[in-house]
Amino acid sequence: MTNPTSSGVAEASLAPSADSHFSRKGLVQLTLLGLLLLLPVTAYFLGHIYYVNLASRITIIAMAAVGLNLAIGYGGMVSFGHAAYFGLGGYVAGISAYHAFDFTPFMTWPFSVPGSDNLLVVWLAAAVLCGLLALAIGAISLRTTGVYFIMITLAFAQMIYYFANSWPTYGGEDGLPIYLRNGLPLVDTTNTLSYFLICFAGLVLAMAITSRLMKSRFGAALTMARLNDVRLATAGISPYPIRLIAFVISAVITGLAGALYADLNGFVSPTMLSWHFSGELMVIVILGGVGRLYGPLAGAILFVMMETLLGGITQYWQLFLGLVLLGVVLFAKHGVMGWLAGRERNE
């Protein structure tokens, strides 16, 4: 050793004992992601377009839940209003397409903003607007904790819901159709498989960002804010700005999922903004495993499959969803991922 400051002992203890071998967790994660990619591709080439769209739906809902999981699971901020960002993202896609289709500007004063049917523009606008909305809502809501935080985030989301409901320009409660799916240069987004692959890329990117973020200094501070905010403050880091930025990132991910969802369905309505959807996202996060990277994906697969399979048999399918949720909360506290992949060990 030439460097005297890093002796052999220090070197050994400076890193946690890593288990780099292929683990059960890794296998479960790879299987989930692999099936989500391979099944729709297979279905497409067998001509079952319906299943490709179903997979897109699962993917998008999972991505929205990845956003919420960052707030609830990693940040300990139980937001009951994430439908606001999902819906806003959806309306950005819808309104932008509406004006592009009509060749009318979205606004003329103080400067002219035209509509756009380019997905990149739509996504950028959705990300910026959802970020700003979350910054405002978060700045106020994060001054409260616990039940008050849940209620205030719900209240803000409901305000936006009723606003969309009563604004006739963009369809009010009837919603707004998107006649032609927004496009990308060089890609035919109206192709079912292409659009699925775009959604899949979005989900993987959202998960990769979450994973990387939580390993960074910011993630370390956010984890401490969740576990013990007094410790964080005593260590010299104010919890509030850390939480606020995490809340904004979380909302942006959910908002982008909303934009994808509107273009998938060719339709956006206040339903996307309703508290039912906020609740569904929470159910998905809890089903999958709170604070688990692959939890939202596992939860979304389970949720949408139940909705589709049981919903086809009985309209009371949510009774069974309730039973499953009850089972998870009582017997598998760490969700489907905890059950499949084992407990996660912190370092």
Partner 1 sequence: MSDVVLSLHQLHKRFGALQATNDVSLELHQGEIHALIGPNGAGKSTLIGQIAGNIRPDEGSVFLAGTDITRMSIAQRARLGLGRSFQVSSLAEPLSVMRNVMMGVQALQSHSFRFWKPVARDKELLEPAYEALERMQLSHRAWTPVSELSHGERRQVEVACALALKPRALLLDEPMAGLGPEGSAKLTELLEALKAEVPILLIEHDMEAVFRLADRISVLVSGSVIAQGDSHAIKQDPRVREAYLGNDDA
- Measured from the CB of residue 180, what is the shortest distance to partner 1 in angstroms? 36
Which residue number, 13 or 112, has a Cβ lying nearer to partner 1? 13
Contact 197, 191 (CB under 8 A): no
Contact 173, 167 (CB under 8 A): no
Span from 65-73, 116-124, 216-224, 254-262 in contact with partner 1 (CB under 8 A): 216-224
Cα gap 167→92, rounded to integer Å: 15
Q: Quick check: 4 binds partner 1 (CB under 8 A)?
A: no
Contact 49, 192 (CB under 8 A): yes
For 344, which DSSP code? P
Q: Quick check: 20 binds partner 1 (CB under 8 A)?
A: no
Give the side-chain half-sphere CA count within 13 A for 102. 14
Contact 314, 299 (CB under 8 A): no
Burial of 215 (0-12, 13-18, 19+ CB in 10 A): exposed
Out of 39, 121, 159, 213, which residue is the one contacting partner 1 (CB under 8 A)? 213
Q: Quick check: 257 binds partner 1 (CB under 8 A)?
A: no
Out of 238, 316, 326, 329, which residue is the one contacting partner 1 (CB under 8 A)? 238
- Residues 106-165 binding partner 1 (CB under 8 A) are none
- Measured from the CB of residue 78, what is the shortest distance to partner 1 in angstroms? 19
- Measured from the CB of residue 242, what is the shortest distance to partner 1 in angstroms? 6
Out of 112, 169, 315, 346, which residue is the one contacting partner 1 (CB under 8 A)? 346
Which residue number, 239 or 255, has a Cβ lying nearer to partner 1? 239
Cα→Cα distances 39→28, 173, 237, Å = 16, 36, 46
Out of 95, 126, 160, 232, which residue is the one contacting partner 1 (CB under 8 A)? 232
Which residue number, 128 or 319, has a Cβ lying nearer to partner 1? 128
The H-or-E segment that residue 341 falls in is: helix 335-341
Q: Using CB under 8 A, list all residues that contact partner 1.
A: 5, 10, 13-17, 212-213, 215-221, 223-224, 227-228, 230-238, 242, 245, 346-347
